[in-house]
Chain A
């Protein structure tokens, strides 16, 4: 399967714990995006990378959130000191260049208890 892969599919954690998600984009795609989606809402942009450079972060992104793409391939999204409001589906997407279609992964569903 050469699609966008995300791990884990589900994560349950207690409030205050740190969590990390991984995204493996389509191999030839140089752009990687992180989105968050809550029930009944559209995906909300968090951040994106071109190769290993993080080019844009949403103003809504708390400083508890950090993302990396160290070698321009896979990416990780870490949430520190999780809060119940962080419960959501975290979607990763990749694209081949700017202003073209995004290919989404199946997401990581985070539940903060």
Chain B
């Protein structure tokens, strides 16, 4: 079955440093979504990427979808303490009728002030 892998599992940064998490799928994806989950909270949608090579920005966050639609990345510039949480990518397999998203295990972002 489809597998979605994320690295790193944990990332410690000093406040103000940049952060990047990478997502790789074992199969080609029709689209990929990113979610953020704060400690003790539930996943909250950040963005969806659909097109090969797509790049989207939200303030300090930059999202990329790979040309082969099998990988993606999230980059945060100049992290702030409000960025703390776990970032998940989630994808749907291309060509399948399935609609259930497959989530990665997430990258836990820890920020030291």
Interface set of A (CB-CB < 8 Å, partner B): 31, 33, 35, 40-45, 47-48, 55-56, 58-59, 91, 98-107
**B106 interfacial by beta-carbon distance below 8 Å:** yes
Q: Which 9 A-B pairs have the closest CB atoms?
A: A42-B103, A45-B100, A101-B45, A104-B42, A43-B103, A42-B105, A104-B43, A42-B88, A42-B106
Number of interface residues of B (CB under 8 A): 25
Q: A42-B104, A99-B92, A101-B48 are in contact. Are A55 and B33 (CB under 8 A)?
A: no
> Which chain A residues border B44 with CB–CB below 8 Å?
104
CB contacts under 8 Å to A, within B17-38, are 30-31, 33, 35
Contact B99 A56 (CB under 8 A): yes
* Chain B contact surface mostly: strand
* Bound CA–CA A41/B104 (angstroms): 8
How far in angstroms is the closest Cβ of chain A from B14?
24
> Which chain A residues border B30 with CB–CB below 8 Å?
99
**B95 interfacial by beta-carbon distance below 8 Å:** no
Residue of B33, B48, B100, B105 most packed against chain A (CB within 10 A) = B100
How far in angstroms is the closest Cβ of chain A from B109?
14
What are 8 A-B contacts with C-beta separation under 8 Å? Answer: A45-B102, A55-B99, A99-B92, A102-B101, A103-B45, A104-B42, A106-B42, A107-B42
How far in angstroms is the closest Cβ of chain A from B23?
11
> Which chain B residues border A58 with CB–CB below 8 Å?
100
